[in-house]
Amino acid sequence: MYIYINQQFIKDTEATISPFDHGFLYGLGAFETFRVYKGFPFLLEDHLIRLQSAVDEMGISYHIDSEEIKNILEQLLRLNQCTNEDVTVRLNISAGNGEVGKLLQTYDKPNLLCFIRKAPPLNKEEKDTVLLDIPRNTPEGPYRLKSHHYLNNILAKREIQKTPEKEGVFLTAEGYVAEGIISNIFWVSHQAVYTPAVETGILNGITRQFVIKCLRKLDVPVNEGFYTKEQLLEADEVILTNSSQEILAVKKVNDYVFNGNDGIIVKKLRGLYDHYRKTLLSKDEL
């Protein structure tokens, strides 16, 4: 597989990162994962805005050029013979080399890494989930970044390793519903939709933001706040979202059963999501 790293397109087996990269030493790096549908990167600008915000927060001096990223993607698709396929993209910016033990320094030569892999088929099967015992950790700064700090997610995966097909759902240390290990969560109760607020410490997912906009387009009331697991478990529908898998209907949370694919709201969301994906529109055109 060909990848892109610092202005070079090379085989993945030839790629190297210095051991003095502070992205490796101290987790000072951020990334985005998104889908490309037969050459079209869906919601790309939204992902790049969030990535730029993350590198700015980390003190990494780098301006993301969307046209440059599009050119990189086009070249990767061509080199890997994936122009007419659906792929997922990992775009990563790390701080670059620095002195060991020196945490206050200028990061003006970051490492830019990008690679693709064939996307999993869009699966309409229902998902089972489990409430995790390990709590969602608090963000390192004022809000959660999609950063290299991933241990909380890995420990959560280990907790449910005997049932890897399930998604784990975090609660905060205070007991409020937060998010999935790799997803954001919504649920439907009395014809209104609820989702944890960003202030709970969750990642403000790009698909999450898009789905909220879709719900408003559908005139479905959507509420963001602090909610207990009991409120979640009383719902009619539960829905998971992320950029790779789009919209997943949940059938079970622990032993509680929900409407799954028969849910009215999940059907409406999938229909509208499919419409915008097929017409190649961004969320700003909703």
Asked whether residue 77 carries a pLDDT value surpassing 90, the answer given is yes
pLDDT bin (cut points 50, 70, 90) of residue 285 is low
Average pLDDT over residues 228-246: 96
DSSP state of 121: P
SS3 call for 189: strand
In the structure encoding, which two tokens stand for residue 31, read together?
A: 């990334």
SS3 call for 136: strand
Residue 18's domain comprises 2-118
**Residue 140 and residue 90 share a domain:** no
The Cα 255–Cα 263 span in angstroms is: 18
**Residue 114 and residue 136 share a domain:** no
Q: Which of 120, 58, 57, 55 lies closest to 91 in space, CA to CA?
A: 55
Domain boundary among 118, 150, 172: 118
Domain boundary among 101, 118, 135: 118
Q: Residues 80-114: pLDDT tens digits?
A: 999 999 999 999 999 999 999 988 899 999 999 99
In the structure encoding, which two tokens stand for residue 71, read together?
A: 């050119």
**Residue 156 and residue 275 share a domain:** yes
The Cα 212–Cα 223 span in angstroms is: 9
In sequence order, the β-bridge partners of residue 207 are none
In the structure encoding, which two tokens stand for residue 102, read together?
A: 């020196």
- CATH at residue 210: 3.20.10.10
Helices and strands (DSSP H and E) totals, the chain: 7, 15
**Residue 184 and residue 87 share a domain:** no
**Residue 248 and residue 162 share a domain:** yes
**Residue 278 and residue 203 share a domain:** yes
Q: Residues 60-75: pLDDT tens digits?
A: 999 999 999 999 999 9
Q: Which of 93, 85, 90 lies closest to 115 in space, CA to CA?
A: 90
pTM value is: 0.94
Total of domains in the chain: 2
Domain boundary among 86, 118, 150: 118
Token pair 């390990």 in the structure block, residue = 134
**Residue 41 and residue 92 share a domain:** yes
CA angle, 56 then 58 then 61, to 5°: 50
**Residue 140 and residue 273 share a domain:** yes
